[in-house]
C-alpha cells in the first residue's frame, strides 16, 4: 500500500508513546508515507496587565522550553525508530493534548493518527485524551496497546461505516496470516425493566427468538461474503467485542466510527470510544471517507 497522506503519531515521551511511535514508524514505512510526530506542551502564555514587561519574560521562557522539547522529541524518535532527523517532521503545540493532536491531523491531512493507551481507563489523563481524539479525529485512529495476541476482531452493525471498517480488518487479517472474527452484538432490553413515567411495550420472548435467529442468519451470510468467522453476542456492543478479543487472543480490534441505532443498538460513534477502553489489545477506529 502506498499513500501520500501522512501518518501522525502523538508522543509525550512515555513508554506508552514509545509503543505508538514504533507502530507509526512501521505503518509509515509500509505505506511509503511521511511521518509526523506531534508533542503537545501545556499552555504557558499568560497576560500580565499590571506588569507588561513580564509578558516578554514569559515569551522567552516558552521559547527555551520549546527548544528543549524539540530536542527531547528528536532524541526520542531517533532512539525508538532509528530514523535520521530529515526523515520525519516534528510538530509542537501547546494547550490541551487532544485539541493539539486533532488540529495538526487536520492541517496535514493525516490518513492515520497513532496514539498510545495506558490502559488506565477514562479516569486517567491519557485515557481521557485518547477518547477525545477518537471522538474528534478527522481520520482513522490507531490506539496502540502492548499485546502478545495475533488475532484480528472486527465489530459490525451492517452499516456503511462498519462495512468500511470490515474491509480494512479483512486486509489486516490477511497481512497477519490469521482468520478474522466478525462480531455482531444484540443488545436486548431485558423484559421486566420499566422506567418511571414511561410505559414501554416489551417484545415477547418468541419475538426476541425470531430476531435472534434472523440476525444470526444475516451475520453468517455477511461473514461468508468475506470468508471470516461469525460471532453473535448479546449485550452491549463494546463489552461483547472486548470479550471476543480476549477469547480469541486478538492483537487488533477494528471498529467503525458511525452506525445506525435500533434493535442491535450498535451506535458505533460512542461504542468505538468504549471499545478502546475495554479491549486488551490495540484498536483501529476507522472513519469512512468524507462524502462531497
Residues 49-99: tens digit of each pLDDT: 555 555 555 555 667 788 888 999 999 999 999 999 999 999 998 889 999
pLDDT tens-digit series, residues 219-235: 999 999 999 999 999 98
Query: What is the rounded CA–CA span in Å between residue 284 and residue 83?
Result: 25
Are residue 21 and residue 109 in the same domain, yes or no?
yes
Pairing state between β 282-286 and 140-144: antiparallel
User: What's the pLDDT at 276?
Assistant: 92
Within a domain: 1? no
CA dihedral of 244, 28, 121, 272, whole degrees rounded to 10: -50
* 219 contacts 191 by C-beta, under 8 angstroms: no
pLDDT tens-digit series, residues 153-199: 999 988 888 999 999 999 999 999 999 999 999 886 544 445 555 55
Are residue 164 and residue 190 in the same domain, yes or no?
yes
Are residue 110 and residue 72 in the same domain, yes or no?
yes
Question: For residue 209, how many other CB atoms are within 10 A of its CB?
Answer: 11
Domain that residue 259 falls in: 151-194+202-286
Are residue 110 and residue 223 in the same domain, yes or no?
no
Contacts 24+ apart (CB under 8 A), 266-272: 266/155, 266/156, 266/157, 266/159, 266/162, 266/184, 266/185, 266/187, 266/237, 268/155, 268/157, 268/159, 268/161, 268/162, 269/135, 271/155, 271/237, 271/238, 271/241, 272/134
Output the domain CATH number for residue 128: 3.40.50.620
Query: What is the rounded CA–CA span in Å between residue 283 and residue 110?
Result: 18
User: What's the pLDDT at 106?
Assistant: 96
Name the helix (H) or strand (E) containing 215: helix 205-226
User: What's the pLDDT at 124?
Assistant: 57
Within a domain: 2? no
* 33 contacts 9 by C-beta, under 8 angstroms: no
User: What's the pLDDT at 123?
Assistant: 46
Angle, vertex CA 84, rays to CA 82 and CA 87, nearest 5? 110
Q: Which residue has the higher pLDDT, 24 or 63?
A: 24
Query: What is the rounded CA–CA span in Å between residue 39 and residue 78?
Result: 15
Within a domain: 291? no
User: What's the pLDDT at 95?
Assistant: 85
Mean pLDDT of 127-142: 91
Are residue 112 and residue 131 in the same domain, yes or no?
yes
pLDDT tens-digit series, residues 235-254: 889 999 999 999 999 999 99
User: What's the pLDDT at 63?
Assistant: 75
pLDDT band at residue 48, thresholds of 50, 70 and 90?
low
Are residue 112 and residue 135 in the same domain, yes or no?
yes
Domain stop point among 144, 161, 181: 144
Spell out where the chain has E strands: 7-10, 35-41, 89-94, 112-116, 140-144, 151-155, 180-186, 229-234, 250-256, 282-286
User: What's the pLDDT at 41?
Assistant: 84
User: What's the pLDDT at 191?
Assistant: 45
Are residue 14 and residue 140 in the same domain, yes or no?
yes
Domain count, the chain: 2
Q: Which residue has the higher pLDDT, 203 or 190?
A: 203
User: What's the pLDDT at 60?
Assistant: 52
Are residue 127 and residue 185 in the same domain, yes or no?
no
Are residue 120 and residue 158 in the same domain, yes or no?
no
Percent of the chain with pLDDT over 90: 58
Strand order, beta sheet including 7-10: 89-94, 35-41, 7-10, 112-116, 140-144, 282-286, 250-256, 151-155, 180-186, 229-234
Are residue 159 and residue 102 in the same domain, yes or no?
no
* 36 contacts 91 by C-beta, under 8 angstroms: yes
Residue 267 has pLDDT above 60, yes or no: no
Amino acid at each position: 500500500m502506498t499513500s501520500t497522506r501522512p501518518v501522525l503519531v502523538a508522543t509525550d515521551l512515555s513508554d506508552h508513546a514509545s509503543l505508538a511511535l514504533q507502530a507509526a514508524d512501521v505503518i509509515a514505512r509500509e505505506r511509503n508515507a511521511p511521518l509526523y510526530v506531534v508533542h503537545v506542551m501545556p499552555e504557558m502564555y499568560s497576560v500580565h496587565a499590571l506588569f507588561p514587561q513580564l509578558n516578554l519574560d514569559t515569551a522567552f521562557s516558552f521559547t527555551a522550553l520549546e527548544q528543549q522539547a524539540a530536542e527531547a522529541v528528536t532524541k526520542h524518535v531517533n532512539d525508538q525508530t532509528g530514523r535520521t532527523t530529515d526523515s520525519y517532521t516534528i510538530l509542537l503545540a501547546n494547550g490541551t493534548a487532544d485539541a493539539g493532536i486533532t488540529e495538526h491531523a487536520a492541517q496535514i491531512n493525516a490518513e492515520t493518527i497513532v496514539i498510545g493507551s495506558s490502559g488506565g481507563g477514562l479516569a486517567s489523563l491519557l485515557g481521557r485524551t485518547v477518547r477525545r481524539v477518537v471522538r474528534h479525529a478527522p481520520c482513522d485512529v490507531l490506539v496502540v496497546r502492548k499485546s502478545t495476541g495475533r488475532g484480528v476482531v472486527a465489530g459490525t452493525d451492517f452499516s456503511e461505516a462498519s462495512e468500511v471498517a470490515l474491509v480494512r480488518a479483512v486486509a489486516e487479517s490477511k497481512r497477519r496470516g490469521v482468520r478474522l472474527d466478525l462480531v455482531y452484538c444484540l443488545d436486548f432490553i431485558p423484559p421486566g425493566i420499566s422506567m418511571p413515567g414511561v410505559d414501554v411495550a416489551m417484545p415477547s420472548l418468541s419475538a426476541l427468538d425470531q430476531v435472534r435467529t434472523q440476525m444470526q442468519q444475516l451475520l453468517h451470510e455477511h461473514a461468508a461474503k468475506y470468508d471470516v468467522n461469525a460471532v453473535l453476542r448479546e449485550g452491549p456492543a463494546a463489552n461483547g467485542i472486548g470479550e471476543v478479543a480476549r477469547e480469541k487472543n486478538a492483537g487488533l480490534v477494528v471498529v467503525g466510527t458511525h452506525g445506525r441505532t435500533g434493535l442491535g443498538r450498535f451506535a458505533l460513534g460512542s461504542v468505538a470510544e468504549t471499545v478502546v477502553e475495554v479491549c486488551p489489545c490495540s484498536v483501529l477506529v476507522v472513519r469512512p471517507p468524507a462524502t462531497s
